[in-house]
Amino acid sequence: MLHVKDADLVFYNDLSADVRQQWVEQLILHPIDAQVTPGKANVENEAWRDIDSAYLLCEQDMAIPLGHQQMMAERARNQGASMMIKTCSAGHSPFLSMPDTVVEWVEELAEVGGK
């Protein structure tokens, strides 16, 4: 099982200490196999290859550094994905720290997708 040291700061660094603690208490252990299984082992027909996708890059993310996020998004693009990318100043959980930003972008994506 995967355990993240200092999970409060890794996942919720842009929230207040009391709110971070609330969310840390909700975390559960995660099977490490999901992180270390080779890419094509059990995956077929990845949706991002056929469906327009989006990636919200988070500048203050302590779990996945910005450069790594950019690399993942570009790798998908280089493999043929249609990938809309936007950057925000949030940590790993922008839906908690910047919900209005996330909602605005989802609405923007829905508008673009509806055309």
Residues with catalytic function: 61, 92
In whole angstroms, what is the distance from residue 105 CA to residue 115 CA? 16
